[in-house]
Amino acid sequence: MTPFTVAASITKVEFSQKLKQACNKNDSLLCIGLDPNPNLMPEDIGVFEFNRQIIEATSDLVIGYKLNFAFYEALGDDGWKVMKKTVEAIPEGLLSIADAKRADVPNSATFYARAIFSLGFDSLTVNPYLGQDSIEPFTSYKEKGTFLLCRTSNPGSRDIQEIKTPEGKLFEFIARKAGEWNKYGNIGLVCGATCPEDLELVRQIQPDMPILVPGVGAQGGDLKLTLRYGLNKEGQGLIITSSRQVIYASREKNFALKARQVAANLRESINGIRYSRNR
């Protein structure tokens, strides 16, 4: 199968339904980022085998897995094959997120969407800077999720995302636009755990929209505030991603077991905080 062939096995379950089912499946909001850096991985192991063992060790603890395209594109031609095999290794009922941050004019965006979804991903990240017509080629896959970059976790994000507009700061404007563009109910937002007060504003603007939250773990995001400000009224609505903290817990042969231990502790911490709201 080439990257431009639409996968025949695409499910027609709505993304919002699949997200809720994934959360309930393992009672989890945790998403593991599979970002394979050979300099941090155990020696003498291939990228797919590394991913496979991480998935096998943690699939009962998570809502899904996020693959950052940069790490796979750096592998050259093999990167696409590894991504496809990794997505196929994710158990049924869990989410797969392509962290691709794509954006382009509609004609090009159409092919970006076709290429990424042909790999079997349930959802992807998109840069909204080019406007609505650049988003539609992705959201037109009604059963797939499209997460718009809104308030990212890197320190330099404030250079652009805090620019003031007549409708508040730029990230607030994006959050409102996401609601206007969400005609199929499959749009979500990306908002980092490193700026929890801004996450609170985003949740106020979009009470029910799913939010993908990077920045917990190595980037120092505040988990407690993230959950306090980001959960929806059902105690869900967040996909909290952790990459380096989990997958590089060890460089020894027991790396998958160590990853499981970190993931289990993180899931326990998340659930302990979110369920304490009702006590």
Consecutive 10-residue averages of pLDDT for the chain (279 residues): 38 81 96 95 95 98 98 94 98 97 96 96 97 97 97 91 92 97 97 93 97 81 92 95 95 96 97 82
State in words which class domain 15-276 has.
alpha beta
Report the pLDDT value the prediction gives residue 190, as an integer from 0 to 100.
Answer: 98
Report the pLDDT value the prediction gives residue 135, as an integer from 0 to 100.
Answer: 97
- Going by C-beta distance under 8 Å and a sequence separation of 6 or more, which residues neighbour residue 54? 32, 34, 246, 247, 255, 256, 259
Would you say how long the chain is, in residues? 279
Report the pLDDT value the prediction gives residue 276, as an integer from 0 to 100.
Answer: 87
Q: Give yes or no: 101 in active site.
A: yes
CA distance 10 to 90: 14
Q: What number of helices (H) and strands (E) belong to the chain? A: 12, 10
First-to-final CA distance of the chain: 51
Of 85, 101, 169, 258, catalytic: 101
Report the pLDDT value the prediction gives residue 221, as an integer from 0 to 100.
Answer: 76
CA atoms within 13 A on the CB side of 194: 15
Are 87 and 80 in contact, with CB atoms under 8 Å apart?
no
CA distances from residue 181 to 39, 168, 197, 272 in whole angstroms, order as listed:
41, 18, 24, 34
Mark out the alpha helices in 13-157 (DSSP H runs). Answer: 15-25, 47-58, 69-73, 77-89, 106-117, 132-139
The pLDDT tens digits of the residues spanning 2-11 come to: 443 333 333 4
Q: Give the start-to-end residue ranges of the domains of the chain.
A: 15-276
Report the pLDDT value the prediction gives residue 215, as an integer from 0 to 100.
Answer: 80
Report the pLDDT value the prediction gives residue 216, as an integer from 0 to 100.
Answer: 82
Report the pLDDT value the prediction gives residue 9, as an integer from 0 to 100.
Answer: 37
- Predicted TM-score (pTM) of this structure: 0.92
Are 148 and 172 in contact, with CB atoms under 8 Å apart?
no
Report the pLDDT value the prediction gives residue 10, as an integer from 0 to 100.
Answer: 37
